[in-house]
Amino acid sequence: MASAYRALLLDLDGTLLNGASEIHPRNRAALADLEDRGVRVMIVTGRSAMSAAPILDSLDLGLPAVIFNGAAVWCHRKGRLLEERVLANRVVGRALEFGERTEDLTLVQAGERKLANHPTSAAEAAALDGLHGVELVERGELRVDCIIRVTFLTLRHSCSVAYSSEVSAHLDAPLYLTDFPLNALPVHRRSSMQVVDVHPPCRGKAEALRILREEHGIAGEEVVAVGDATNDIPMFAGAGLSVAMGDGMPAAREAAERVIGSHESDTLADLIAEVFPA
């Protein structure tokens, strides 16, 4: 029986990756089989190129990956960005002013650079654990060229949505913001910090649907999208089938059409066997 779907969009953290940032062997084999059968598989992640590259290299999928929550596209085979949106200088200036005024931990990310101000507490230092290639600098050194994302982390708020509203009001510009409690990430389950990511204007992870449509003639209704967090909701909205992980964020589970098992299991392989029958 032929599948109604021609492509799979897949988040990394909390979806394809388990808590140890590893891929279950059965899930990996299922993805390789999909590609062999001509199904398009695309990784769609909030990670930077630096952070996502080792995983993308190990998967060696044919399509490039959407990274930075839709603000850039990375080709692992060419080792470079294919698309890139950057924040306006005015926005960067206001963002850095916000970080200095609030003394919130501030992280800026360009294509191949990732810089953060020196942490001032154990909680801030722990929040940077697991980030690949972060350069710790003075706040005055955070302004670099071609910044794709500015990230703020704080203990001043107990709700990431309220924190995002504060950041948005200060920046006062058309931007794409995402927010989440840091403990939504498996490696930071004990953290109380709230996170806001500031991106240039874009469709978020729904940019992956645009790429499939423009470059491969695949309509949204022919796509399965799988994720676990609120930043996955834009691609859920445009996909023919949206699937959330069972241990994902409540808002993501509510937005999805289906909820499957844990990211610690091989449940993705079961989903693939069902919706992409051989």
Cα–Cα distances in Å, from 259 out to 9, 180, 244, 245? 15, 20, 5, 6
**CB of 244 within 8 A of CB of 225?**
no
pTM for the model stands at 0.94
**CB of 51 within 8 A of CB of 130?**
no
Pairwise CA distance, residues 50 & 40, whole Å: 23
Name the more confident of 1 and 202: 202
Domain 89-199, architecture per CATH: 2-Layer Sandwich (3.30)
6-10, 78-82, 130-134, 237-241: which has the minimum mean pLDDT? Answer: 130-134
Q: What is the CA radius of gyration of the chain?
A: 18
Mean pLDDT, residues 39-58 taken together: 96
Residues of each domain in the chain carrying CATH 3.30.1240.10? 89-199
Looking at CATH, the fold of the domain delimited by 7-84+203-275 is given as Rossmann fold (3.40.50)
Residue 234, classed as helix, strand or coil, is: helix
**CB of 204 within 8 A of CB of 158?**
no
Mean pLDDT, residues 182-202 taken together: 93
The helix (H) or strand (E) run that includes residue 273 is helix 267-275
pLDDT at 2 > cutoff 80: no
Structure tokens at 63: 């399509």
List strand residue ranges (DSSP E) for the chain, in order: 7-10, 40-43, 65-67, 72-75, 80-84, 105-110, 114-117, 135-137, 147-154, 176-181, 194-199, 223-227, 241-244, 258-259
Alpha carbon distance, N-terminus to C-terminus of the chain: 8
What is the pLDDT, as a whole number, of residue 189?
87
Residues of each domain in the chain carrying CATH 3.40.50.1000? 7-84+203-275
pLDDT at 192 > cutoff 80: yes
Q: How confident is the model at residue 187 (pLDDT cuts 50, 70, 90)?
A: confident
pLDDT at 121 > cutoff 70: yes
What is the pLDDT, as a whole number, of residue 227?
98
Mean pLDDT, residues 175-186 taken together: 93
